[in-house]
Structure 1
């Protein structure tokens, strides 16, 4: 009977996640059901490079370090750490009693971290994150190039102590340890499964994989012990659009989904009764939507004065107010303001000489189709300055390929923070990071920017680094390799069944194990 009961509960849980499975029964206790739209790449942390994959991997795996509600690094798999006076040696003491998924339980050891990071660095696995510690951890580069059999700067001193030695001090180092690439896998499973590990992932994160149906459904069950009302099971269900997800939320088939579009806004305006059973969780994000410009000589935007005039003209437009209202913040800098000590002066003055530079300017703006409304707005408004703007739409992979090969000179792009430090944004302007060697698609190069970035990386004080980042922003304001447009807000549509939901300005950080539920559908929700 007990076995039959468990089977019955499992079927009911799947019914609440599957498309077209209708029921008026209350949701099973402790189950959080989320709607998603984009596909995921892999459940292997080595290949988690898109936002959906990162969100999913965070539930299954964990790293040495996590974040508190203010995005300050806190111990996760490590219980504590020590840093040498010169900032080069980190010693991590692992938390006792941490186990990997599955039975019989296997306890976490420092050698598992060493294995996971060697796996990340190894050319055999071809991880897009293999660059993460290159030039940072001592011996990482030599191991990648086959010069040494192991990474010199990684040592398991015993089962519970890991020592990491850096080439030089690196202020944001602890932030890197929160990324999926640095999360810990079970070595035995990774070796035996090979590339299939992404379909049968085994980590020591807060949840473990229970069920999957490609492109439709994922079910994770709790691994880290926690009593009700904390989530005991996660069900992820895919939808073709947000309107379908909203209707599922209204019927009580899911509990939350991310994002908002015009169709939803129309629903909100036409019927306010939704506030009785749902709410919005909205948070300004550490990310920047911008226009990139090819600064090389010969480019139509190779002249700094033309770039500055174009930036000033676009900066004068009420773009955010007219397109996004309160759901975005106008950008005065490329680095989001919380990561700077101060903002550079905002100058949208257009001199007569600037207007002459824009008169007759012909440009082609390349963008993904999702930004059609923005592009058409810019095309219409820039006509008044004598600018002829032609729009070409490309899918993401094609746009990235064109940027890498240097075929385009003006484009719409987004940059979301992987971790809450300005260096994460400003490396886009480092000369050593010019494509194809890095993400510097504008081909911008400035000796002072390179020097300031090098200094910031070796600075251990967050406040001092923010001052340096503000100095770099002042240079970018003068040189104008990009036109920052706005900082988007993250929006989740959430059932009032949820007593809490993560409010994180970091787009990639989604600690769902902290969500608390009530089994009363109309219960009053609490602010997260």
Structure 2
């Protein structure tokens, strides 16, 4: 149990009534507590159907229940899952997967006498057809947009043909959208499969009281083993609660009622971390440990390049904004050092193609000079620009606002709801806005697609409407390049070209931060922030 500091104690008093209600069923310690991993999800889970696993909360849950052909390890390598091996042929357009024969679906009476059955290639054919079925309307249907056809050649062989080479395709297949589901169960439940999931994962569904509690139990027939040959998972159960805010979640962690907290929230960051991002001694001395590492998430500001506003069209001002604020200072003051100052391009640290030298460093005098040159050229004595953001990032935008005023550029910060910002940037209705991009799949192509001219929003992710012929040519060439090193070099060149045009202002590359207990083992960390529980143990 943690020692409570005065700040934390006061918060507990303020929330005591809420916590008493929420914890009334857990006051008695159970001697099997070490077999149950407990965490909180402050956002409700929308569906346990992998075809709808769009948000991180849904992905974390469905990842415990389902498997696909392949999976990603913590180093972003694609490794076998239900497919034990695969071959790529026909100029990298044909993928042939050989499936394991020992993968069973979770038990359900609809399977008949044995209450289960093995996964076959036909199950993947059904699952992929369901993913692209317009009547299902899965948000993940785009994953198969580059696929020409797919078919089960026999019970243990599944083949996919692409329209053109796409080196990142295996990474796409690791997404939860591509999980295998059983036809007879899905068609029995229809849309209610969302709350009656049957998969092949390390845990199986037990019960779900929406907005209150979700419970998974150990799948005793799971096919994977650990490095010693012992069956996975090690835990007997996973219990998820749904406290709606991060502060209450942290208080539950402090009281030992949940096993880990993910991310850093303003409500408790100064309580648990020093200014330079170290775990405070009071927590370090007790039973808390912090895990951190790169997260494939770039936080940035973006310009709408087709804007008619003079300040937006000025390359000098766009560069001045990039040069005019201290990213390192910003991260220390606002994030306690958690996050990597973005001195490179748009590709985040951790992906091939990242280069920390192609971006902008803090050069206030050069920023002032560029603003002065703009004033002289245009006759505008007080250049003004409006930066649109959401309330969650207001502190970052106000920091940048104050720094840029020292250069002679007047910045107005406009705060709007997240849904309004999303609609406005998709439809070219705002000129300068805050945004973030979290990798859909671990390949830099996913980031660079935001600057391909054929991807203009609202029909694609190019929110800036950046348009450069040379960039487009390199982007298309990268599809045909099968050598990973040469492809990474192309990615770096493209990223450098973006930065020279300055349609964006990278702020920082995020980090995954997890706080857990010292008795929790095997809870690793990965750049996609996937919650992997099959190898976790809790020491009694």
Matched position secondary structure for 2:249? helix
1:180 aligned residue: 176
Matched position secondary structure for 2:267? helix
CA deviation string 1:165-187 (max 9, x = no partner):
11111111100001111111111
In the alignment, which of 79, 93, 99 is matched to residue 94 of structure 1? 99
TM-score (norm 1): 0.87
- CA distance in structure 1 between the partners assigned to 2:328 and 2:338 by the alignment: 17
Structure 1 gaps, min length 5: 1-15, 139-152, 520-528
In the alignment, which of 421, 437, 450 is matched to residue 443 of structure 2? 421
1:293 aligned residue: 303
CA contact (8 A) 2:371 2:409 kept: no
C-alpha displacement of 1:385: 1.8
2:476 aligned residue: 454
C-alpha displacement of 1:20: 3.4
The 5 A counterparts of 1:244-263 are 244-263=248-267
TM-score (norm 2): 0.86
The alignment covers a number of residue pairs equal to: 489
- CA distance in structure 2 between the partners assigned to 1:418 and 1:20 by the alignment: 39
2:400 aligned residue: 378
C-alpha displacement of 1:85: 5.0
Would you say 1:357 and 2:374 are equivalent positions? yes
C-alpha displacement of 1:471: 0.3
1:124 aligned residue: 135
Alpha-carbon distance change, 322 to 18 in structure 1, aligned in 2, over 3 angstroms: closer
- CA distance in structure 1 between the partners assigned to 2:29 and 2:46 by the alignment: 34
2:49 aligned residue: 44
Would you say 1:329 and 2:334 are equivalent positions? no
CA contact (8 A) 1:40 1:52 kept: yes
- CA distance in structure 2 between the partners assigned to 1:377 and 1:233 by the alignment: 44
C-alpha displacement of 1:445: 1.2
The 5 A counterparts of 1:85-484 are 86-103=91-108, 104-134=115-145, 136-138=146-148, 153-223=149-219, 224=222, 230-268=234-272, 272-275=281-284, 276-299=286-309, 300-314=311-325, 318-331=329-342, 332-339=344-351, 340=353, 342-347=355-360, 348=363, 349-350=366-367, 352-357=369-374, 360-484=382-506
Matched position secondary structure for 1:244? helix
2:111 aligned residue: none
Alpha-carbon distance change, 261 to 386 in structure 1, aligned in 2, over 3 angstroms: same
CA contact (8 A) 2:41 2:240 kept: yes
Matched position secondary structure for 2:403? helix
C-alpha displacement of 1:418: 2.2
C-alpha displacement of 1:269: 6.0
CA contact (8 A) 2:296 2:509 kept: yes
Q: Which moved more, 1:367-376 or 1:210-219?
A: 367-376
Structure 2 gaps, min length 5: 1-19, 109-114, 224-229, 275-279, 376-380
1:83 aligned residue: 88
- CA distance in structure 2 between the partners assigned to 1:460 and 1:291 by the alignment: 32
CA contact (8 A) 2:203 2:217 kept: yes
C-alpha displacement of 1:268: 2.7
